[in-house]
Amino acid sequence: MKDQGTTPDAPPLSGLRVVSLAEQYPGPYATLLMADLGADVILVERPGQGDPARGFPGFHAALNRNKRSVAIDLKSDEGRCALRDLLVDADVMLEGFRPGTMQRLGFGYADVARINPRLVYVSITGFGQDGPCRDRPAHDLSYQAIAGLLFAQARSGRLAPPGELAIGDLASGMFAALGTLAALHQRTRTGQGQYVDVSMTDGLVSWMSVFLGPQMNGQPQADIAAEPAYGTFRCGDGKLLTLSIAHEDGFWAALCGLLDMPDAAALRRPERVARCDALRGRIERALAREPRDAWASRLDEAAVPWGPVNDLHEVVEDPHFNARGLFREIPDANGRKQRFVAQPLKFGGHHPGPVRGVPALGEGNAELLGNRSK
């Protein structure tokens, strides 16, 4: 499908300046979203070392291209003055330290609001700024556990390896971006900035709403995965594919027609769930007769919900994602081109970012801090 509309004169968040003191994953993902939408994101990093994520160059680059970097020692008077100068004209300040850290440095919300009352101040922490867990150290897996994402393990007692995706980090980054934009919208009415408290675990609890709502109200859970054709299956060549028939009788009938299971085509969801193991076994045996590529066109022609289980290189090579323009080449500071995932939203049919590479630590000091960079 061709892009629709014309390229916008400027990306949606052009003219917005974000000063970010957040490191590692959640804050950088939030500012990545904003930078790719046109915001000028300035990373405030520690001199010499920078964001600890720089120790993992590919990880760091994926989250921090399209931004600028200054190196500031916030424990020095000169460094604190430099940060104040940056905040005078900023629209947003985002930080990801433990509760109380910014206050001790002299940059709590009350301090910053005196410098710039229009500034939106966003804090990302594991458990929020208050509550009995606020000072508990943790990482993503523990946030998932306390928020209920591992409830199946809690019920069964069976151990399972952690997932590859840091869901709490990514969810909090998206909530931080949403909270920032909501506060900026309110500023257009009030003229005043405000403080946004982003808790990684609170965000995950929100993501669990469709499980927790029924739990709180004595209602049954919507157990989509109880369907026999909702899961991962192995094909004849050993490659995997997913079927995702959640509850739709029409999709089930189409699958049964394709897999030569006419006796099961008329089964409704309650009957399918009751006979799940036996039906799933029949699906497994049918798919194992042919390689995945042979099933691909047949599943598409039958309009059955499915997808290949892609390895990373297969995602990068996928014709659909490439047709959508999801990967972009950007030159780094040395002129060498690197590929990155583009900003996924389209505006007027176009992806607005990224447009620049990964900043070297402190490369923006002279431009952004002037005499203070010496």
Looking at residue 372, what is its pLDDT? 59
Residue 217 lies in a domain: no
Q: Which two tokens stand for residue 312?
A: 């990373």
Asked if 180 and 59 sit in the same domain, the reply is yes
Domain hosting residue 133, numbered range: 17-209+326-373
Asked if 167 and 76 sit in the same domain, the reply is yes
Residue 2 lies in a domain: no
Of 317, 342, 363, which residue constitutes the final position of a domain? Answer: 317
Looking at residue 1, what is its pLDDT? 30
Asked if 293 and 174 sit in the same domain, the reply is no
Helices (H), 131-244: 140-146, 151-156, 167-190, 200-207, 209-217
Residue 302 lies in a domain: yes
Residue 90 lies in a domain: yes
Q: What is the pLDDT along the chain (374 residues), one digit of tens a residue?
A: 334 444 457 899 999 999 999 999 999 999 999 999 999 999 999 999 899 999 999 999 999 999 999 999 999 999 999 999 999 999 999 999 999 999 999 999 999 999 999 999 999 999 999 999 999 999 999 999 999 999 999 999 999 999 999 999 999 999 999 999 999 999 999 999 999 999 999 999 999 999 999 999 999 988 888 999 999 999 999 999 999 999 899 999 999 999 999 999 999 999 999 999 999 999 999 999 999 999 999 999 999 999 999 999 999 999 999 999 999 998 876 778 899 999 899 998 888 888 889 999 999 999 998 765 54
Please count the structural domains in the chain. Answer: 2
Residue 232 lies in a domain: yes
| CATH number (domain holding residue 273) | 3.30.1540.10
Phi, psi values for residue 55, rounded to 5°: -70, -15
Looking at residue 8, what is its pLDDT? 55
Looking at residue 91, what is its pLDDT? 98
Of 282, 299, 317, which residue constitutes the final position of a domain? Answer: 317
- Residue % of the chain over a pLDDT of 90: 87
Looking at residue 181, what is its pLDDT? 98
| CATH number (domain holding residue 197) | 3.40.50.10540
Residue 10 lies in a domain: no
Looking at residue 297, what is its pLDDT? 95
Residue 352 lies in a domain: yes
Asked if 338 and 305 sit in the same domain, the reply is no
Distance CA 57, CA 122 (A): 26
Asked if 311 and 331 sit in the same domain, the reply is no
Residue 113 lies in a domain: yes
Looking at residue 2, what is its pLDDT? 34
Asked if 143 and 205 sit in the same domain, the reply is yes
Asked if 306 and 284 sit in the same domain, the reply is yes
Distance CA 175, CA 122 (A): 10
Nearest Cα neighbor of 126 from 105, 101, 99, 100 is: 99
Asked if 253 and 147 sit in the same domain, the reply is no
Give the global pTM: 0.91
Report the catalytic residues: 139, 169
Asked if 265 and 337 sit in the same domain, the reply is no
The dihedral region occupied by 17, where left means phi > 0, alpha psi between -120 and 50, and beta the remainder, is beta
**Residues 59, 64, 69: CA angle, nearest 5 degrees:** 130
Asked if 168 and 292 sit in the same domain, the reply is no
Looking at residue 302, what is its pLDDT? 96
Looking at residue 142, what is its pLDDT? 96
By residue count, the chain amounts to: 374
Asked if 244 and 152 sit in the same domain, the reply is no
Of 292, 317, 342, which residue constitutes the final position of a domain? Answer: 317
Asked if 93 and 52 sit in the same domain, the reply is yes
